[in-house]
C-alpha cells in the first residue's frame, strides 16, 4: 500500500537519548556500572509533591500520587552514593560529559550556549529519588542532512538518566539506583520529518555521529528514542523509549494507520449520529447472567467476591472489532484505558462474543438485560467492584473521545511496531532552576580545544580504512556505517598483529550471518569481542574458530571467551602437535602419496582440516603439509 505521507500532513519529531561512556556519573563520582546481583541496601520513599506543584500536575501524575504507592529503592555500596539517595547535594557537573556533549554539538553544526544552567524537570513516577530530573541545554540549533532535505535540530541537552524500574505491584514500585545519574545526551529534532523512512534515516545518522566520538555506551538500553507523531486532523502522540532504531519506520507507519482509522471511526460515529450525551456511565451488575459461565476469567472474579459490570455503548456495534493497527482493534484502545485507570486485566465486548468461554446464550441474556438493539455494543468488566467501576468510567471517557477523533496520549511500543496506551500526554514539563549547582561558563578556549580534537569526518575515515587498513571499498563503507565503528577502531589499534580486514569481517559479516542463523548476537558484548581478538592475537585459537566461539557466547553470555574455548575444545594446536598429526596421516595414506606424488596434497589437506579446523590457522596447515609431502617424496627418490 502506497501512502502519500506528505499529503496526510505527517509530522514527526525525534528525541534521541544516548548514554555517554564517561568515567563517572553526571553529578557524583560513582562509576557507570549496572549490577545484576542482589542489592546491598533497600529503602522506601513516598514522593510528596507540594500542593503548588500538584495544582498544575497532569491527571495521570495526580492519579499515580493518589494511588499512594511506595517506591522501593535498591542500592549498592560501590556504584551508588548519597547523591543518588538524595541525601547529599549534587556535585559539579562532570566536565568529561560536557566535553562529549560539546563535541557532538559541534559535529551536528549546533551553537553551544555561553553558560550552562542546570534545570530541574519534575518527574512524579518515582524514577528519581529527588522527584525531578536534572537537565541542561548545551547547544541550540544544528541540523542533519537527509535525502528528503535538511532536518533542523532544536536542542542538545545533557541529562541524568533515571533509576531502572525492576518491577511493580499494586502497593509498590521497585527501582534500582545504579543507573540513576548516568550522563545522557539528548538530541531533539524539529518536528519536520515527513515520512517513516526519513525518521529512521535521521535517527541512524544522529546515532552515527554519536558513535563517531567513540565515547558513548553501546548495547541494549543505552540508546532510547522518543517520537512525537501527528497527521492533519489527528493529534500529537508521543511514543516513548524505543530502543531499536530499526523499528522506527514501522512505528511511524503504524501510528499513521492508527490515527487514520480513528478518524474513520469518528466519521462513522458522526454518520450514525452518536452524541456525547448518549454515552452514559450507567453500569449494570450482570453477575447473575454468568452464574454458570464457562469463562474462566469471569468465574475467577465471581468466586473472589467480584462482580461483572456491563456498559452499553449505543450505536457502537462493529466499531470495537474494527482493526486500527495490525491485530489491534478499537476495543484494544478501550481495554488499555480500563487496564490503566482501573487496574483490571482487560474488557470483553460483544463485537468479539461469543468467545473466551462466554456462550451465545449468555450474550443474548446480556443484551436483553441492557435493552440493547442490534446496533449497540456491550462492554463487560469482571473484577472487584471498585476496580470494575473505575475501568468502565475510563471506557466511557475513551468512547466519548472517539467522537472527536484521536486523543493526545503517551504510548509505549510493542516488539512488532504497534503501540499501546501508557498515559495521557502531560502538559509542558515544569522546569525550575537547580539552585545547588552554579552556572558553568563555556569558554572560547574550551570550544577551540574540542574543535581540534573532533573525530575525522566519515570520508577521511573511509579513505584510511581502504588505503591504510586494506579493506575493500564495500567493507570500508559497511564499517563506516557500523554500529560497532568505534569498537573496530579500538581493536585495530589494540591488536596491530591482526589484519584489520579480519576484524571488520568478524564485526560485520560474521555477526550478521550468526544473527541470520537465529543466534541472539545482541548478547555478545564488547568485552567478549575484545577478549576474542586477544585470544586470536596470542595464537590461543585460529581464526577459523571465530564463528564457533561467537555462537557459543551468544547462547551463553555469562561465559568468558576462555571458557568458550575450553568448552568447545578449541585449544590451539602447537606446530609440533600438527606435525605429529601430519606424520600419522601420511603413514595411513602411504599408498596415495606413492601413486599421486605431490598431487596427493589436495585430498590429504581435506582430511587434515577435518581434524584440525578451528584449532590452527589453515595456511599453516597447508604449508606444513606441503613441506612434509615434499620431504617424504625427496627421501624416496
Ligand atoms: Zn553517586
The residue count for the chain? 637
CA of 28 to the centre of ligand 1 (A): 5
Q: Would you kindly state where each structural domain of the chain is located, as residue ranges?
A: 11-269, 275-402, 458-567, 575-636
Residues 519-547 have pLDDT tens digits of 999 889 888 999 999 999 888 888 888 99
Return d(Cα 583, Cα 39) in angstroms, integer.
Answer: 58
The radius of gyration computed from the CA coordinates of the chain, to the nearest angstrom, equals 31
CA of 188 to the centre of ligand 1 (A): 27
CA of 490 to the centre of ligand 1 (A): 29
CA of 593 to the centre of ligand 1 (A): 71
What pLDDT shows up at residue 619?
Answer: 85
Q: What is the DSSP letter of 187?
A: E
DSSP string spanning 427-474?
A: -SPPEEE-TTS--EE--HHHHHHHHHHPPPPHHHHHHHHHHTT---HH
Question: Are the C-beta atoms of residues 239 and 411 closer than 8 Å to each other?
Answer: yes
CA of 82 to the centre of ligand 1 (A): 6
Torsion of CA 537, 539, 540, 544, to 10 degrees: 90
Return d(Cα 85, Cα 379) in angstroms, integer.
Answer: 45
The residue ranges of DSSP E strands in 270-320, in sequence order, are 284-285, 307-313
CA of 81 to the centre of ligand 1 (A): 4
Sign, CA dihedral 448-460-225-216, equals: negative
**Model-wide pTM > 0.85:** no
* CATH 3.40.50.80, domain 275-402, yes or no: no
CA of 74 to the centre of ligand 1 (A): 13
CA of 440 to the centre of ligand 1 (A): 21
CA of 439 to the centre of ligand 1 (A): 21
Residues 223-259 have pLDDT tens digits of 999 999 999 999 999 999 999 889 999 999 999 999 9
CA of 321 to the centre of ligand 1 (A): 51
Q: What percent of the chain has pLDDT over 90?
A: 72
Averaged confidence pLDDT in the chain: 92
CA of 83 to the centre of ligand 1 (A): 5
Count the neighbouring beta carbons within 10 Å of the beta carbon of residue 297. Answer: 18
CA of 561 to the centre of ligand 1 (A): 32
Cβ-Cβ contacts under 8 Å for 143 (sequence gap 6 or more):
108, 109, 150, 151, 152, 153
> Between 196-212 and 248-271, two packed helices, what is the crossing angle to 10 degrees?
150
Number of H helices and E strands in the chain, helices first, is 22, 24
Residues 401-446 have pLDDT tens digits of 999 999 999 999 999 999 999 888 776 667 889 989 999 999 999 9
Would you say residue 289 has pLDDT above 70? yes
Amino acid at each position: 500500500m502506497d501512502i502519500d505521507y506528505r499529503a496526510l500532513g505527517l509530522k514527526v519529531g525525534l528525541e534521541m537519548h544516548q548514554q555517554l561512556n564517561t568515567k563517572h556519573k553526571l553529578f557524583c563520582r560513582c562509576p557507570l556500572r549496572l549490577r545484576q546481583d542482589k542489592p546491598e541496601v533497600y529503602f522506601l520513599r513516598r514522593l510528596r509533591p507540594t500542593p503548588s506543584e500538584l495544582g498544575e500536575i497532569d491527571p495521570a501524575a495526580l492519579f499515580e500520587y493518589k494511588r499512594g504507592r511506595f517506591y522501593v529503592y535498591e542500592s549498592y555500596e560501590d556504584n551508588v552514593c548519597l547523591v543518588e539517595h538524595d541525601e547529599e547535594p549534587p556535585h559539579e557537573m562532570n566536565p568529561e560529559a560536557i566535553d562529549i556533549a560539546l563535541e557532538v554539538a559541534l559535529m551536528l553544526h549546533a551553537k553551544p550556549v555561553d553558560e550552562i544552567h542546570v534545570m530541574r524537570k519534575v518527574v512524579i513516577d518515582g524514577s528519581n529519588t529527588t522527584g525531578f530530573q536534572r537537565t541542561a541545554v548545551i547547544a541550540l540549533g544544528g541540523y542533519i542532512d537527509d535525502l528528503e532535505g535538511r532536518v533542523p535540530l532544536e536542542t542538545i541537552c545533557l541529562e541524568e538518566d533515571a533509576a531502572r524500574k525492576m518491577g511493580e505491584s499494586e502497593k509498590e514500585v521497585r527501582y534500582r539506583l545504579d543507573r540513576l545519574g548516568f550522563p545522557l545526551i539528548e538530541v531533539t529534532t524539529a518536528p519536520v520529518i515527513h515520512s517513516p523512512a526519513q525518521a529512521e534515516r535521521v535517527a541512524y545518522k544522529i546515532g552515527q555521529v554519536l558513535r563517531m566520538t567513540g565515547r558513548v555506551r553501546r548495547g541494549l538500553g543505552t540508546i532510547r528514542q522518543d517520537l512525537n507523531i501527528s497527521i492533519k486532523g489527528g493529534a500529537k502522540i508521543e511514543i516513548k523509549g524505543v530502543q531499536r532504531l530499526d523499528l522506527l519506520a514501522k512505528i511511524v507507519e503504524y501510528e499513521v494507520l492508527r490515527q487514520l482509522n480513528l478518524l474513520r471511526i469518528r466519521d462513522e460515529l458522526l454518520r450514525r449520529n452518536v452524541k456525547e450525551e448518549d454515552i452514559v456511565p450507567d453500569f449494570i451488575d450482570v453477575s447473575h447472567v454468568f452464574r454458570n459461565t464457562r469463562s474462566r476469567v469471569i468465574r475467577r472474579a465471581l468466586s473472589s467476591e467480584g462482580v461483572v459490570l456491563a456498559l452499553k455503548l449505543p450505536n457502537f456495534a462493529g466499531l470495537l472489532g474494527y482493526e486500527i493497527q495490525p491485530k489491534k482493534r478499537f476495543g484494544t484502545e478501550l481495554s488499555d484505558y480500563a487496564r490503566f485507570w482501573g487496574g483490571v486485566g482487560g474488557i470483553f465486548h460483544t463485537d468479539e462474543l461469543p468467545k473466551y468461554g462466554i456462550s451465545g446464550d449468555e450474550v443474548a441474556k446480556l443484551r436483553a438485560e441492557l435493552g440493547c438493539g442490534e446496533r449497540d455494543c456491550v462492554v463487560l468488566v469482571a473484577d472487584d467492584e471498585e476496580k470494575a467501576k473505575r475501568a468502565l468510567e475510563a471506557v466511557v471517557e475513551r468512547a466519548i473521545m472517539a467522537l472527536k477523533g484521536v486523543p493526545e496520549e503517551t504510548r509505549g511500543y510493542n516488539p512488532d511496531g504497534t503501540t499501546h496506551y501508557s498515559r495521557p500526554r502531560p502538559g509542558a514539563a515544569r522546569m525550575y532552576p537547580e539552585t545547588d549547582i552554579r552556572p558553568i561558563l563555556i569558554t572560547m578556549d574550551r570550544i577551540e580545544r574540542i574543535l581540534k580534537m573532533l573525530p575525522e569526518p566519515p570520508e577521511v575515515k573511509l579513505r584510511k580504512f581502504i588505503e591504510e587498513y586494506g579493506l575493500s571499498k564495500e567493507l570500508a563503507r559497511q564499517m563506516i556505517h557500523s554500529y560497532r565503528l568505534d569498537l573496530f577502531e579500538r581493536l585495530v589499534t589494540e591488536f596491530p598483529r591482526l589484519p584489520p580486514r579480519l576484524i571488520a569481517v568478524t564485526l560485520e559479516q560474521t555477526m550478521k550471518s550468526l544473527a541470520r542463523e537465529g543466534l541472539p548476537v545482541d548478547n555478545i558484548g564488547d568485552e567478549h569481542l575484545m577478549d576474542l581478538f586477544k585470544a586470536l592475537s596470542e595464537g590461543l585459537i585460529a581464526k577459523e574458530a571465530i564463528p564457533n566461539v561467537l555462537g557459543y557466547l551468544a547462547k551463553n553470555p555469562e561465559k568468558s571467551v576462555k571458557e568458550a574455548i575450553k568448552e568447545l575444545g578449541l585449544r590451539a594446536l602447537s606446530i609440533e602437535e600438527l606435525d605429529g598429526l601430519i606424520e600419522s596421516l601420511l603413514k595411513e595414506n602411504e599408498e596415495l602419496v606413492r601413486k599421486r606424488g605431490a598431487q596427493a596434497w589436495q585430498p590429504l589437506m581435506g582430511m587434515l582440516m577435518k581434524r584440525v579446523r578451528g584449532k590452527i590457522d589453515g595456511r599453516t596447515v597447508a604449508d606444513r603439509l606441503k613441506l612434509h609431502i615434499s620431504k617424504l617424496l625427496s627421501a624416496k627418490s
